Amino acid sequence: MITLETALNANESVLDDDWTEQQRLRIDIIGPLTIRRGSTALSANDLGGPKPRQVLEILLLSLGSAVSKNRIMDLLWGGKHPAVALPTLESYVSVLRRHLQPGSGRSGPLRTVTGGYVMDRSMVDLDLDRFEALTNRAAHAEARQALALLTQALDLSVAPLLGDELLPAWADEERALHATRVSQTRVLAAETALSLGEVEKAIAWGGAAVNEDPLNERAWTALILGLEEHGESTEALRAFERCRRVMDQEMGCAPGPLLKAAQARLLERTAAHPEPSTAGVTAAVTLADHTIVPGHASQVEADRLRILTVDDHTTFTELLTGALDREPDLMSVGAAKSVESAVEMFRELRPDLVIMDLHLPDGSGLKAAELILSEAPEARIVILTGNPSAEALREAATIGVCAFLPKDGALGTMLDTLRHARTGTIIVHPSLVVQLGRGTPAVRLPSE
């Protein structure tokens, strides 16, 4: 017989489960930061600015483990804490709690521990955590299951880790470590596919791994053996020669026994059965798992916004141009590092839009913008800066710059601004207006 007390306890347990499920967060940090709390979707723009967002990302990178306040402050301010660093950090955490666990105070996923903070693993579903779990399971599975698990892991990693953080050194270090793990996973997937006779997958993954790390002999082996199994002997020999040349030039050594044996087989096979000539045939060019058919690529590119990036920070430029090329309506056409090269490349490439750092080695990005706009008044130019001034903003508005954005802002905001930047109106991000204070010219602000 069910008593009233039993029924009430059971009902309370159901309510607790529902409440916990509503608080549970599903977060992606591979690519742009995205967060789901129940039916509510949040993005990098909804967390109160770059620093609170970075606090969350730092905690997520150590999901389930406490991170000290001193460690967080060191990462946020590069070891140069402002005098008010501790109360400022605590205010950032309060802002995060308001967005991530409204009405729950300290009882939600973001918890306070002695001397620091922790993201509760039981209340967070993180894509990076899933990637690591999938690769760990694959290491102990039979080949067919392992291939399925590795495929899922690679599907999660189609974009760089921390895609919104193009500037901080700590983010770049974490991104490099994750990229190495992804490359290792790709090689293992190629080897597993080869063992199962799925040679097309082996070729695609092996080729991608070789592009990422040309000194990885395991990647070359998977690619060359895959091409051999697929009957592409000539292409396999070309790949072997590229491998031999890279290893000789970069490491002063030759390919190992497996690849030398493959070369011997391939030479024998091509001598006995030469492959038919493909001269005069219009062929598709395959790059990793993307196929580009001549004549079609030009039409695809014509529909995309062509963008020139001007910045002397190589890592920042590579991450930004990579992010542009992953967008279906945007594409990078080049990168310059100075005022002089920016003007020259604009004249040569005639891009639809220019992303320009305010501070360049040989002068101001505004000088480059002025030179470009004097020749092409219709050009759209977006200025990036981490240290704005009212004078720079006034000059940008005067010469016809389209937008003024923080260099450490969310990638999604930057991409949306690029899409909507138009001559005749200057868009200024609210965070820059706050830094400038009063006395700035009238501008239109993008929504947070």
Closest listed residue to residue 420, CA positions, set 336, 305, 339, 334:
305
Using CB atoms within 10 A of its CB, is residue 221 exposed (0-12), middle (13-18) or buried (19+)? buried
3-state secondary structure of 18: helix
Residues 18-68: pLDDT tens digits? 445 667 899 999 999 999 998 899 988 889 889 999 999 999 999 999 999
Whole-number pLDDT of residue 406: 87
Whole-number pLDDT of residue 15: 38
Span 106-131, average pLDDT = 95
Q: Which CATH architecture has domain 297-436?
A: 3-Layer(aba) Sandwich (3.40)
Question: Worst-scoring range by mean pLDDT, 91-100, 180-189, 294-303?
Answer: 294-303
Whole-number pLDDT of residue 448: 41
Query: Residue 16: pLDDT band by 50, 70, 90 thresholds?
Result: very low
Residues 210-224: pLDDT tens digits? 999 999 999 999 999
Residues 272-283: pLDDT tens digits? 666 554 333 333
Span 242-269, average pLDDT = 92
Other CB atoms within 10 A of residue 2 CB: 7
Q: What is the CATH number of domain 17-126?
A: 1.10.10.10
Instruction: Judge whether 17-126 and 152-270 match in fold.
Output: no
Select 152-270's CATH number: 3.40.50.280, 1.10.1740.10, 3.90.550.10, 1.25.40.10. Answer: 1.25.40.10
Q: Please, what is the end-to-end C-alpha distance for the chain in angstroms?
A: 56
Whole-number pLDDT of residue 301: 56
The strand pairing partners of 336, in sequence order, are 310
Q: Where are the beta strands (DSSP E) in 92-137?
A: 110-113, 116-119, 124-126
CB 397 within 8 A of CB 329: no
Span 86-96, average pLDDT = 96
339 or 302, higher pLDDT: 339
Percentage, residues of the chain above pLDDT 70: 84
Instruction: Kindly give the interhelix angle for 339-349 and 365-375, rounded to the nearest 10 degrees.
Output: 30
Is 0.85 topped by the overall pTM? no
Whole-number pLDDT of residue 397: 85
Domain ranges across the chain: 17-126, 152-270, 297-436
283 or 320, higher pLDDT: 320
